[in-house]
Structure formats: C-alpha cells, structure tokens
Structure 1
C-alpha cells in the first residue's frame, strides 16, 4: 500500500481545478480510474514485496493488477484495462508490464503533487510574457522575419519527438493541447 503525506493521520493528494476542463473529468468511469491511479501512487520512494519479488517504487508509481483493480473499482477487469490503456495512450500514465503485474507511473507526478503552491504559474507567466512580446514584435516589423520562441516545456517534449519537421506547427499543436488538457496530459 502506498503512503501519502498526512495531516492529522489522514492522507491526501492534490487535484488541480484545470482538471474540470479536461476530457478525463467528462467521463465518470475514466475519472474514477484516473483518480484511483493518483490515490494508489506512492509519494515517497520505498520497496514493496509482490509475491516473492521486491519492487522499488518511486514517487508517482504503484503496482497494478487488473483483477485487483477491478475489485477495488467495482468494474469489470476489461473495463479497467481499457481505461488504463486510454490513460497510457494519452501519456497520462506509463505502464511497464511483466508476467505477474504492471508498474504504473503517473506522468508529471512531481509537477502536480509537489509542495509548490501553484506548479503551473511559471508556464502561465511565460505564456503571457511570450504573447506580449510576440504582439509587440509584430508592430512595425511586417517585412522582417522573426525567430520563433518556444517554451522550455515544448522544447523538452519536442526533443523526445521522433519526427523533426514542422516545429512551428508542432509548437502550435502543443500549446493547444496544453490549453485543452493541461500540461500533465501532454
């Protein structure tokens, strides 16, 4: 069982209001599976015995078995698995399977569960600043070609992307996806 920070003996996780705008929130079963993943994830490194195997868990990870999850979530194992795979497809979680269980890692765990009061302030401020600079740079410089400015988050994501063409279009799509789904889901 994973432990979470506690206040008066009660453990907790952080949820951000931007999740209300995310498609995960719109589907009650998907939301249930997603929040279950957050609740199952450990908040500090520790080791766990699974059968006769010692498993080292890092923050944001937990051991997953579809049948045990189905019992906890009161769903069919196939339903749980399809929602887990959907979360993986959207890079919300990462699944490392073996023949007995899967190790699930919640993407961007540190960003969303850290002690920082507002983990997305830097991104919002950067977006605002970039937007103001771009608007300002356009005035009176119609004939000049200007160099694109990309956020550090986009640069990190883009460096892992296999296709290296159309960076400007990729940046626009990235920004749109972040706006629609939040940075944790990119």
Structure 2
C-alpha cells in the first residue's frame, strides 16, 4: 500500500490530527488490493470525501461525497484518462462508489463512508498515539484535505447569515394579508406580537410572514368549527 504524505511537515502533523480515515487490515483481502490504479483511486476518494455536508457550484455535496472530474483525477493520481475511467468502472462494479455526472464535473459518493470514520474522540486519541509510537502506515490517521478550509468558510457564512429580526410595520402586515386575501385583522396581529416582544413561545420570531400564515390557518380552523357548531345547533332546533 502506498504511504501518503502528511498534511504538514513531519510525523507530528499526523499525531495532532483530530479527524481521520480508518483503514482496516482487511483491505489486504479486498479484491482490488493488487490493482494499483483502482486501489489508489479508492484511497484517494476516502481522503477527498467531505466529512460533513457542503456545497459546490450550487450543488449540495453531502458527507462522503466530493466533486471532481476525470482530468483532475488524472493530475492528482498521475494516471491516464483510460486508467482513471477503468478504476472508476471497477469501483462502481463492486459497489464501492457511485458517480453522478454534471455538465463540468462529477460527484463521487463513497458508499460506506461512515465505516471509515472513527466512532469516538477517545478512539481518535488512542489511535493517534498508536500511529505515532508504532508508525504503522496502513493505519495512518489522515484528515480530509478540505476540512479546515470548510470549517473557516462555514463559520463566516453562519456569522453573515445571522440577520437581526426587524418587526414589520402595520402597513406591511396589511399589504401581506391583502395579497393572501385572508381577511385577517392586521392590527390585532401587530398588537399581539408587539405585546409579546415578537416572541413565539421562548424563541425570537424569525419570519413574521410565516406567523401570519399560521394565524390564517388557525382562523380558518376556528371558522370551520363555528360553522359546524351552527349546523349542529340548527339540526337540534328542528
């Protein structure tokens, strides 16, 4: 099995990794183990796959998936186009991966990705220690390449997306109710939630239009119950 370079300088960079891919010795019994191209591609897929859901060019890339292309894999693995295509065909035939193609790239899914992940932080620390002390390449603990960058990017996106809720004006609520022809009392809606500090239960309101639609459904339910009660009363009066 090829020994992969650590993401950093020296063996210490591996020991300090908190997330990694597990490679069992059972891989020695794997049918494609002696096929260098297929084996290299599969290990490459394990290392490139997202460890958590992400996004690429408007496409959701889930945990265990990554976006790539034949030319990119050629460069990364130093293989020819035919060698890459043959290796992909092998892995698809035995259910190791699936491939979904788009116009300019493809998304590869490692079918049993979770089985290559650690089950607990304690196990992670133990295995990291064993790797440093015993230097066993086949059980090397390797982080996914994009993990650190994605964490930083997601933190920035989450921060920018946390927009402060601004209560609507009476006119905005009136206009929205008119557009839905729901006949709701916009003033009553604004007065009610103003008295609550624009809270829904214990949580700050995030979408006042959704709250209007909820009022709308409740109003319709009350009207239906009232109409049903009136019909029953009319029958009883006979």
Query: If the TM-score is normalised by the length of the shorter chain, which range does it land in?
Result: 0.5 to 0.7
Match of 1:46 in 2: 54
Q: Distance in 1 between matches of 2:84 and 2:18?
A: 27
Q: Distance in 2 between matches of 1:91 and 1:30?
A: 13
Tell me which protein shows more strand as a share of its residues: 1
1:158-180 superposed Cα distances (whole Å, 9 cap, x missing partner): xxxxxxxxxxxxxxxxxxxxxxx
1:13 to 5, 16, 21: 21
Mapping of 1:38-77 within 5 angstroms?
Answer: 38-48=46-56, 53-77=57-81
Specify every segment of 5 or more residues in structure 2 that has no aligned partner in the other structure, as ranges: 1-13, 124-238
Q: Distance in 1 between matches of 2:90 and 2:28?
A: 18
Instruction: State TM-score, norm by structure 1.
Output: 0.53
1:16-51 superposed Cα distances (whole Å, 9 cap, x missing partner): 111111122111221111101111111111223xxx
Q: Distance in 2 between matches of 1:113 and 1:85?
A: 25
Q: Distance in 2 between matches of 1:79 and 1:71?
A: 12
Q: Distance in 2 between matches of 1:90 and 1:9?
A: 31
1:104 to 90, 108, 114: 108
Mapping of 1:1-186 within 5 angstroms?
Answer: 8=16, 12-48=20-56, 53-115=57-119
Indicate the RMSD between aligned Cα atoms, in angstroms. Answer: 2.0
Greater mean alpha carbon deviation, residues 28-37 or residues 108-117: 108-117
Evaluate the alpha carbon distance shift between residue 72 and residue 28 of structure 1 in structure 2; reply closer, same or farther with a 3 A threshold.
same
- Number of residue-to-residue matches in the alignment: 108
Cα distance, 1:10 vs structure 2? 7.5
Tell me which protein shows more helix as a share of its residues: 2
1:105-157 superposed Cα distances (whole Å, 9 cap, x missing partner): 0011112324166xxxxxxxxxxxxxxxxxxxxxxxxxxxxxxxxxxxxxxxx
